[in-house]
Amino acid sequence: MRGVVALSILSALGASAALTESNLEKHADVLALSHSFNPVKDAYWTGYPHHRRTPFAVSPDGKSAYVAYLDASETDVHVQQVDASTFKATGTSVTVSGGKEAGGLVAHNDGFALLTNEAMPSGTTNAPSDETPVPVLYRYTDGEQTWKTWLGGPGVHESDGLAASPDLNGDLVYSEQSGLYGAYFVITDYSGDAAGHFGDSIEYVADNGTLVTIAGASSAWGCSHNTGIAFEAADEPPYASICAEDQGAIWLNTKTQGMMTDGVKLSNENTTNGAGGEAIGGMSGSYSALARFAESSRYLFAWVSRGAIDLTENSWMGDGYTNAQNRTNNRNVAIALLSDKYTKVGAEASSEVGAEDGDSQITWLTNGSNDCSNAHAATFGNSSALVTWEEISDPICDFIAMGCRGSFAGTFYQQVDAQGKAVGSPLKSTDTYVAGDMVTMADGRICWPYVQMDWDLSQPVYALGASNTTSMSFACLSLDGSSGTSVSSSSASVSSAVASSAPTTSVKTKAPAVKTPAVETPSVATTHAEAVSAEATSVEATSVEATSAAPVVQSTSVEAFPVEMTPSPMPPMPDFPFDGEGCAA
């Protein structure tokens, strides 16, 4: 997520020193929330704690900042405007009734747009059953709803099958240049041949609220079991997109919108049906993973990976697709530089069956034995970026290709230059976290929201117990180490909201050309116990092969989760000593 940047100031900074405590500015408990918020979300399958995302965005003129959060009751999304320098509330919050997830936020000079999911009004023809939430985009101007546009449900890519989103786990972006919102999110189809299966969708909406179908950019069905999305605006569609699928790879799929082999394979990952190591954050984590360097064409992507060895053919997917064993038990932080939205700098990941080395293309930021998670990236401008992650020491990774538990060892902030090289060693913080979008502010700082709390990553959420809060904190990192620098935002190169390139509003004819996996699972786990029973009852023996516009259902039977995937009750946790070691230390 990128706000406005004063480029001249930033390039003058050109900082080459490592980040230190003086670069980190904390605004603890600065925002009083009008409603209660539960800051912890249990992850898919494991039930381990994740930060519940609180989307944050700043307007092009740098003056209006907004933070969105899900009500503690898990229905209704509240959007609070905050002062862009003090982060205190300005005005009363707007409640988007019925919203089930704060799924993405864009700030405008006169309001905001929110991506959420909600049940359709009862009696809606062809709505999904059981009030399953459907993705929806809201636009508010001066505190009032201007329009509301469904991004799934009846009438949306009907010939490809109707889609709902029990769990969005995606992102919303906007380009001033094109005047188009882009939303990339997880779906499950409830009609058509992919009914009951999980995939993802990319939808574009014009400034006036019209859903536009753009050939080569919109997508009714893309990556299988997407367990992580990275999405960032470009000057025109298609916007830059990355998916972490559950068949063995992470794809830069700006060109394909799916997981076809003519996309760019950024990484081989050890996967299992429904998961890929939470490489792009897993539940509630699909934000600020792909960041554009100011107005340049370049992007930086950050994720976590166990590495990849011993590539074998993925016979289910066929030619060009591989499975990998993980090189390590823990996950380390990886970055990739893109020279433009379609192109990775350097080699892509190997697809050579039999290759022992499947991760030599990766630029690692860490290489220790701590487990790293919650990786995010943002840029300070054209020449410098920030990558952050959390670590746990002595990780126990109970489940294949999922997250781990252990003793929280800190949040790390690493400066990275325009060539993707680490600048100095990372700054470690034990009382700040990243729990919402990292935004480049008008004065060049990168700021984000979090909740001030004890962050315990040693046990599943059900064992920890949850607590609600009415207080939010913000933290910022600046390169010059002095907060409160006031830079006029008028120097920033923000183009007008007038669309400079008219979107093509033709119907996309390209067929989704990949198979989806055979075993489908719900991606929402509210409690550990619920997750287990839901998984156990949702294994199917059918698979979808979507090689033409009309996906064909096969009856191939495929194994369910391997035995070792079955979660068992957690044993009592040992009291891990805090060793203060970072992966990169």
Give the binding site for ligand NAG (CB under 6 A).
Answer: 7, 36, 38, 72-73, 206, 208, 210, 212, 270-271, 294-296, 306, 323, 325-326, 328-329, 364-367, 382, 397, 400-401, 418, 466-468, 505, 584
Considering the complex, state which of residue 160 and residue 371 has its C-beta at the smaller distance from ligand NAG: 371
**Nearest distance, CB of residue 505 and ligand NAG, angstroms:** 6
Nearest distance in Å: CB 563, ligand NAG:
11
Max intra-chain CA distance, the chain: 63
Q: Which is nearer to ligand NAG, 84 or 372 (CB)?
A: 372
Give min distance, CB of 550 to ligand NAG, in A: 28
**Long-range contact set of residues 481-486: C-beta below 8 Å, sequence gap at least 24:** 481/20, 481/22, 481/23, 483/25, 483/445, 484/85, 485/443, 485/444, 486/85, 486/443
- For ligand NAG, the closer of residues 122 and 563 by Cβ is 563
Q: Which is nearer to ligand NAG, 208 or 496 (CB)?
A: 208
**DSSP conformational letter for 54:** -
Q: Are 200 and 280 in contact (CB under 8 A)?
A: no
Residue 195: CB minimum distance to ligand NAG, A = 26
Residue 534: in which H helix or E strand, if any? helix 528-537
Residues paired with 157 in a beta bridge: none
Cis amide bond preceding 574, omega within 30: no
**Of the two residues 367 and 556, which places its CB atom closer to ligand NAG in the complex?**
367
Q: How far is the CB of 26 from ligand NAG (least distance, A)?
A: 25
CB of 334 to ligand NAG, least distance (A): 10
> What does the block give as tokens for 301?
């992507």
Instruction: Find out whether 167 and 222 touch, Cβ atoms under 8 Å.
Output: no
For 47, phi and psi rounded to 5 degrees?
75, 5
Distance (Å, whole) CA 445 – CA 15: 13
- d(CA 568, CA 39) in angstroms, rounded, equals 25
Q: Which is nearer to ligand NAG, 382 or 471 (CB)?
A: 382
How many Å separate Cα 46 from the centre of its chain?
A: 18
CB 37 → ligand NAG: shortest distance, Å? 9
Q: Which residues contact 155 (CB under 8 A, 6 or more apart)?
A: none
Residue number with CB closer to ligand NAG (48 or 287):
48
Check if the beta carbon of residue 453 is closer than 8 Å to that of residue 431: no
